[in-house]
Amino acid sequence: MSKKTDVSREHCLTQAKTLSEALPYMRRHAGETLVIKYGGHAMGDAELAKLFARDVVLLKQVGINPIVVHGGGPQIGAMLERLKIKSEFIEGLRVTDKATVDVVEMVLSGSINKEIVSAINAAGGTAVGLSGKDGNLVRAEKARRTLRDPDSNIERILDLGLVGEPSEIIPDILDTFQESDIIPVIAPIGIGPGGETLNINADTVAGAIAGAMGAARLMMLTDVVGVLDQSGELIPELTVDQAKKLIADKTVSGGMIPKIKTCVSAVEEGVEGAVIVDGRAPHAILLEIFTESGAGTLIVPE
């Protein structure tokens, strides 16, 4: 027997062992809904994007119902710069006027959404692209933020323009897809009280949809390995109260705070668990769902 044949056989045996070990987890999660927030480095890397699409198709094939909610901040920024449209951020939210929201919708619901749909279809799945405006999926109110003047201690309301926060999720269209082979891919655009288009943070939309769908898991793909303790070590699991304490004592800071708050909110709304996982790691979704150790940081009820 040639060396090449030996190596190939060893590789095949490893694959077979992996599939065998994953079987109990496949059976455990069959029929469950998994909401995946997809963005960051994973979405911008061609090879990782291809692996992501294959993994999502595999989830559907083994009876899990994946729902993909995607972001697109860097792509929006690049298009605004190309069109010479200036924008600013307040507390991580892009101030959005009419010209900006038109670009946001074009990029999110257009190019990015269809790239993800095409990748999933190319991997053997059947994906359909949506925005929160389709079927009135995401109804939203204008977001408001307040800023306290440190000298006078007076608060003033900041106008973020056409930026929204989900007020109601109407999941009828997603319920229909769950009875089919279709994988929904959702752009985080909502519809306001007057029918206006509102730009919504993708993490927030993913959390709201997970809660409305009674998802078993909300998975936030990020550019970090998960939540770290004060020594810089990964925390594999947190309760809701423990997660809140990490924010209060400033163990976590910056962009991780809104992600943890989204996870906590989803769990409090009935999601069984929310995980923050490194989307840069190949097959991060499968490692989380189909292995005992999981991946990233899982936030669960008390």
Dihedrals phi, psi of 195, to nearest 5 degrees: 85, 5
Q: Please report which confidence band the pLDDT of residue 112 belongs to, taking 50, 70 and 90 as the band edges.
A: very high
**pLDDT for the residue 74:** 84
User: What are the DSSP calls for 88-151, one per residue?
Assistant: -EETTEE-B-HHHHHHHHIIIIIIIHHHHHHHHHHTT-EEEEEETTGGG-EEEEEEEEEEE-TT
Better-predicted residue by pLDDT, 37 or 152: 37
Q: Please report which confidence band the pLDDT of residue 149 belongs to, taking 50, 70 and 90 as the band edges.
A: low
Name the 3-class secondary structure at 225: coil
What is the set of domains in the chain, with CATH numbers?
Answer: 29-300 (3.40.1160.10)
> Hey, what are 278's tokens?
């490194």
Among 81, 148, 68, 154, smallest CA distance to 115 is for 68
d(CA 23, CA 33): 18
Q: Is the pLDDT of residue 54 over 90?
A: yes
**Residue 102: exposure state from Cβ atoms within 10 A (0-12, 13-18, ≥19):** middle
Better-predicted residue by pLDDT, 192 or 44: 192
**pLDDT for the residue 1:** 44
**pLDDT for the residue 294:** 72
Q: Is the pLDDT of residue 48 over 70?
A: yes
Neighbouring C-beta atoms of residue 90, cutoff 10 Å: 15
**pLDDT for the residue 156:** 60
Q: Please report which confidence band the pLDDT of residue 295 belongs to, taking 50, 70 and 90 as the band edges.
A: confident
Alpha-helical segments (H) within 30-45:
40-44
Q: What average pLDDT does the structure give for the chain?
A: 87
Which residue is listed with tokens 């940081």?
297
pLDDT in tens, 160-216: 889 999 999 999 999 989 888 999 999 999 999 999 999 999 999 999 999 999 999
Tell me how far the alpha carbon of residue 97 is from its chain's centroid: 25
**pLDDT for the residue 155:** 65
**Residue 151: exposure state from Cβ atoms within 10 A (0-12, 13-18, ≥19):** exposed
**pLDDT for the residue 217:** 93
Q: Which of 25-29, 106-110, 117-121, 210-214 has the lowest mean pLDDT?
A: 25-29
**pLDDT for the residue 30:** 79
Taking residues 101-111, what's their average pLDDT? 93
d(CA 140, CA 201): 12
In terms of average pLDDT, the best of 42-46, 82-86, 240-244 is 240-244
Taking residues 244-266, what's their average pLDDT? 90
Q: Is the pLDDT of residue 3 over 60?
A: no
Q: Which of 32-41, 152-161, 221-230 has the lowest mean pLDDT?
A: 152-161
> Hey, what are 195's tokens?
């029918």
Q: What percent of the chain has pLDDT over 90?
A: 55
